[in-house]
Each structure stands twice: as structure tokens, then as C-alpha cells.
Structure 1
Amino acid sequence: MKKFWWLGLFLGGLSLTACAQEKTRASRMAEATDMQAYFDAVKRDDVAMVEAGLATPGLLTATNERGETLLMAAVYAQRPRLIRRLIEAGADVNAQDERLNSPFLYAGAEGDLETVRLALAHGADFTRTNRYGGTALIPAAEKGHLAVVTLLANTPNYPIDHVNQLGWTALLEAVILGDGGPAQQAIVATLLAAGADAGIPDHTGVTALIHARQKGLTEIVALLEAARG
């Protein structure tokens, strides 16, 4: 029997390994459960619970099943107090979820001026783009979020003329998808005043001025013609 001593050691090693793996698995499950509790707290707008857990290792970088960080979840849920506290605690304003939304990009698209301001003050990355290859400014211009457009268009080094996958700049998108009403007129005027290039065409070679003429947007045509000189 002595010659089989190694078999006992081998089987014992397997047992220890299996035990260690089971403990690791249990630990990960417990950790996931703990993290989910914080995501649930965001849904409830439970600032106290999130505040109490800020020292928890990995809390700010943990993600849920959709790839959202706590900050991204707070932005989606429109929780301004939590958004501010998480950003001040060091949460990444550029972390993108499975839909390629980040707190900065999504806040811009939704007209969330305060979150955009916070993101700009905490390392907003102007090179990150959404799933359409666009910046925070482009959907903000389309949707008529004048305050956000004014802020971003006048932020030093912001890519005001970035072209998305559709071939549109913020100015082009405001003209093409906008209704031409007073809000869109103000958006176009703001972009032009901030230095947006009205001569950039879309992928088909059509400029914002031509699009405005084709849509009969008289006031916007006047703005674009004035910018052209």
C-alpha cells in the first residue's frame, strides 16, 4: 500500500483545490449580492446607504448586468444628489455601459446640465463617443437642449465639428432632425456663434444650408447665410 502514498496526496490536493474554488465562488456571489444592494439603493435614491458604502473596495467601478456603474445607474434614474456624491468620490464620468452610454455622454443627450458641468470638472473625455459615433453635443443640439449646447460649444477644445457615423455634425443634426422652431433657431445661432463650421457637408455632400432650404426653414436659412458671409 505504501507505493500508493502519492495517490492519497493527489486526491487530498484535489479536495483542497475544490474547497478553495468553492470558497472563491461563494465569496464572489456574496460580493455580487452586496454590490446589487447598492444598485438597489440608487433606485430608491438612498443617499445614506451609498454614502456609507463609498469606502467599499471596488464599489465605484462595479457594474450590473447591463454594464452600468453606480454613477451610470444614478444618471439613468435621475438622482442628482447621488450623481454629485459619486462623482465627487471619484466615479468615472467616462465609463461606458453595454449601450456605449457614459454619464457624460448620456447627460448631454438628455439635457442634464448639472451632470454635464460636474463631468467637465471631473475629467470628461471628449474623444469618447456613443453608439452612433457621436459626442454629447450632437444629440443635445438635435433635442434642443440649449443650455447644454451653449456650455459644450463654448468649452475650450471641445470638438464642436465632430462628425458622427451618419456624417452629421451637431449643426447638421440640429437642422436635419430639428423642427426649425425657436428652440432650434437658438441652437443653430449658438453653434454658429461658438465657431461651428457651416460649410461641412454630410456624407452625401449636402450642407446645413442646403438642408435648411430644402426643408423650408426660413429663419435658419437666414442664420446660415449670414454665417457664410
Structure 2
Amino acid sequence: MAQVILTLARDNRVSDVRRAVVAGLSPVNFGNQIGQTALHIAALHGNVETVEVLLELGANANCRNQRETTPLHFAAGAKRNQQATVEALLKGGADPDARDAFGRQPYEGAEDESVRHLLGGPDPNFFKFASEGKLEQLKALLTKGGSQLVDSVDREGKSAALCAAEHGQAQVLKLLIEHGIDVNAQDETGNTPLHAAAGTGNSEIVNLLLEAKACPKIQNLRLNAYTSGQWLSHDTKGTLVPFDQCPLHIAAEQGDTEVAELLLKAGAKVSLTDFDGKTALHIALEENDVEMVELLLAQEGVNVDEGNADYDSPLHYLASRGRGRLIKRLVDLGAAVDKSNKEGWTPLHIAARTNNLDTVKTLLDAGCNPALLNSAGNTPLHMAAVNGRAEICKCLLQRCPEAAAVKNKEGFIPADIAKNEDIKVVLA
């Protein structure tokens, strides 16, 4: 019964809220299973009248939910009546400097500049000047705003350091570092200035940040995972977080070996996986970037058998791309040649369906077993037959003649599913 006040607050039923509290039906500070009170909910919906009544009835203006979020945090980002709701809460004693579990202050959730200002938010010119490289104007603002300004963020949660890194403003970044800015501060998507610098390929800024103790191991977030319900990890507060890319992943995507080397020398981990389970090595292989692959393979701690979310190892990637020299390199480093992915495919299964005979031969010479079955019961010969790869069929038959008689789970031998008559002749 106590929870009725939450529904009443949501629907802005002011008189009913008052009646429920006065009659003792609902404690004014009642919270649901995630700590949400009526004041949180009224603030979230911009229900000013309900906010005022709840405060009048003794609601705690600084109550916190499980994520340490206060009603003022919600009011700042409300869909309507932001300013009036914020003003009501401030009048009722809400703390504009309160930080939630992620360290965010209420102003950071406000899109309206007047609301941000009301909550003690920074001058928006601070971020504009950082992006545009206007040093003198920045110095003036820093002199006026001091340490409180230097670590403030814009409407997207970006620090001035991230803005400077995005726009290649090295001198601005030096100034901000001199003023003690947090070079590891993350925006709403989890990006740090180092992520931004890796994305632009600016090695000077990457160097500056690393010298200022920027951490190359921080991962950003795959935000669309929140809506799909796919969770990978927990942060220190127990909140589920879908970790994604570190700066090294981004450098691999960009094919920037200079930036990648800087990150690796600073302690970037080649084993870190993104939301899809990919390491920087997987990404370099996807991009067919031989130079980047060689750089990553040369690193201590590289796992040559690391599988992505589908359990595809680096050898699986190479099998589909026909990189014989790199296959030999991985094998020399101890790669498991018969490692199977989620569907039971080995690298040889993948190579057999392509049109690259040399890759098939390289894998066979490396010790791949041509008799292994995938989850559908198919051998590599089945894959070559169904895709019409005559020369590959011949090669596989030479190494494993008995594969021609193997039935898959549907009861078919390779000849039964051959793409054309020529393949059937080869398999006869």
C-alpha cells in the first residue's frame, strides 16, 4: 500500500499525495526496490506542484536511490519544467554539489544552459575555447573559475581535455594539464581524451596524455547494450556495465601503428576484449593490416588463441582472408590449429569454403585435422563441395580420402551436397 505514493507522484495527483501522507498510508520518504522515492519520481517527470507538496510534507530533498542519484539529478534532466522543478528543490534544501555513483553532479544532466547555470554549471565557452584553441580566453576563465572549472564537463559529459584532444589542440591540452585536469575523465560514452586522440591519430596529443599519466587500459561503453539487456561486467558500485573499446582497439581500427606503439609502451594490454570479445589483434586481422598484426604479435602476453564472442580465434580470421605467412607465424607462436568456434568450425572448415587453395595447404601442413566435424556434422570436405571448390576437394581427399564417405547430421556425404557435377566427379 505504501508504494501508492509513487504512482500518485508520477501522475502529479497533488491532493492525493497530500492525503496519502497525512492519513499515514505512505511514508513521505518511502522508496521502492531501487531506492526511488516519490520525490525522485515527481522530479523526473517535472511535476513541480507535487515536488513542492512533498517537500512541504517533509520529504528529504537529498534522498538517494541505489545509484546515489538525488531528485535534483532527475530534475535537471526532466522532459519538462526543468527550471521550475530545480528551483523548487533548491529552495527545499537540495544540494547542487551532490555526486551520484558515477561522480556526476546535477548540472551535468541538464541540457538547458540556464538550468546548468542555475545548478552552478560551468561557462559553456570553456569547452568552446578548448575546442577552438583559444588560449588567452581559456586562461582568463581558468583564473576566474579555478579548480572547480578545470574538471567540469559539457552537456555530453565531455571535459575540456576531451574537447581539446578531439580537435587536436595540443597547446590547450598542455595548459589544462598544468592546471591539474583529470586526463582520465570519461564522457557519457566512456571515452577519455586518450580515446579521442587515438581516434584522430594525433601522436603528439597521445604522447602528452601518456606523459600526464593517462591510462591506456580504460574501456569505453557500448551504450546500445543497455537496451538489449546484454551485460558484461560490474563496476565498483555493482552497476552492470557493457565495456567496449580501449584506445588500442581504436588505433587498430585506424591502422595507426605509431599510436599503437605509444600505447603499448605505456602499458596497453593486448589481451583486453571489446563488447564483441575482440582484441586489438582481431580488429587488425579484420582490417587485413599486416603491419599492425605483426606489431601486436610481437607483444608479450599476446594470446594467439583468443576467441571473440563467437569463439573465432585469430586463425579463423586468417583462414577466411588467405594470409599464409601470418598463419605460419601464428602456428610458430603456438596457435591451436584445430580450435573450433561456436558453430564447431575449425580454421580448415572456413578455409575450405573459400577459393584459396594455398591457405588450405598451409593449414594442412600446420597439422589441421581434415576429418573434424562442425556442429552440423560437416567435414571441411563438405564445405568445399557445397561451395564448388574443386581443387580444394582434391587436396582434402589426398590428405583424408575417408572424408568422402562421412555423413553429416542430415545424412549427406559431401557428394550429396556438391554444388555441381564437376565436384561430384572429383568426389566419385
TM-score relative to the length of structure 2: 0.43
Query: Quick check: 1:150–1:191 contact (8 Å CA) kept in 2?
Result: no
C-alpha distance 47-222 of structure 1, shift in aligned 2 (>3 A): farther
C-alpha distance 53-219 of structure 1, shift in aligned 2 (>3 A): farther
Q: Which residue of 1 aligns with 2:298?
A: 193
Q: Which residue of 2 aligns with 1:162?
A: 272
Q: Which residue of 1 aligns with 2:411?
A: none
Query: Quick check: 1:71–1:103 contact (8 Å CA) kept in 2?
Result: yes
Q: Which has the higher helix share?
A: 1
Q: Deviations over 1:92-120 (max 9, x none)?
A: 11111122211022222332222222222
C-alpha distance 164-35 of structure 1, shift in aligned 2 (>3 A): same
Within 1, Cα distance between the matches of 2:140 and 2:209? 23
C-alpha distance 109-218 of structure 1, shift in aligned 2 (>3 A): farther
**Structure 2 unmatched ranges of 5 or more:** 1-86, 97-113, 223-243, 336-428
Q: Deviations over 1:29-74 (max 9, x none)?
A: 4964x61122222243211111233232311111111111111111
Which amino acid counterpart does residue 187 of structure 1 have in structure 2?
M
Q: Deviations over 1:173-217 (max 9, x none)?
A: 1112x0x2xxx2111111111222212122222211221121223
Within 1, Cα distance between the matches of 2:190 and 2:119? 28
CA drift at 1:226: 3.7
CA drift at 1:162: 0.7
Query: Quick check: 1:113–1:148 contact (8 Å CA) kept in 2?
Result: yes
CA drift at 1:227: 3.0
Please tell me the root mean square deviation across aligned C-alpha atoms, in Å. Answer: 2.8
Within 1, Cα distance between the matches of 2:157 and 2:215? 19
Q: Deviations over 1:103-148 (max 9, x none)?
A: 0222223322222222222222345211242211112112201011
Q: Which residue of 2 aligns with 1:61?
A: 151
2:257 to 146, 154, 157: 146
Q: Which residue of 1 aligns with 2:172?
A: 82
Q: Which residue of 2 aligns with 1:12?
A: none
SS in 1 for 2:303: coil
Query: Quick check: 1:171–1:208 contact (8 Å CA) kept in 2?
Result: yes
Query: Quick check: 2:191–2:220 contact (8 Å CA) kept in 1?
Result: yes
Q: Which residue of 1 aligns with 2:198?
A: 108
Within 2, Cα distance between the matches of 1:191 and 1:26? 48
SS in 2 for 1:54: helix
Number of aligned positions between the proteins? 203
Q: Which residue of 1 aligns with 2:406?
A: none
C-alpha distance 44-134 of structure 1, shift in aligned 2 (>3 A): closer
Summarize the alignment of residues 125-140 of structure 1 with structure 2, pairs less than 5 Å apart: 125-132=215-222, 133-140=244-251
Query: Quick check: 2:304–2:313 contact (8 Å CA) kept in 1?
Result: yes
**Structure 1 unmatched ranges of 5 or more:** 1-16
Query: Quick check: 2:201–2:259 contact (8 Å CA) kept in 1?
Result: yes
| 1:70 is aligned to 2:160 | yes
Query: Quick check: 1:185–1:219 contact (8 Å CA) kept in 2?
Result: no
Query: Quick check: 1:35–1:62 contact (8 Å CA) kept in 2?
Result: no
Which amino acid counterpart does residue 140 of structure 1 have in structure 2?
A
Percent identical: 24
C-alpha distance 150-204 of structure 1, shift in aligned 2 (>3 A): same
Within 2, Cα distance between the matches of 1:102 and 1:208? 28
SS in 1 for 2:320: helix
Which amino acid counterpart does residue 191 of structure 1 have in structure 2?
L
SS in 2 for 1:197: coil
C-alpha distance 39-223 of structure 1, shift in aligned 2 (>3 A): same
Highest CA radius of gyration, 1 or 2? 2
| 1:211 is aligned to 2:317 | yes
C-alpha distance 90-31 of structure 1, shift in aligned 2 (>3 A): same
CA drift at 1:170: 0.8
2:134 to 20, 29, 46: 46
Query: Quick check: 1:174–1:188 contact (8 Å CA) kept in 2?
Result: yes
Which amino acid counterpart does residue 135 of structure 1 have in structure 2?
C
TM-score relative to the length of structure 1: 0.77
Query: Quick check: 1:110–1:140 contact (8 Å CA) kept in 2?
Result: no
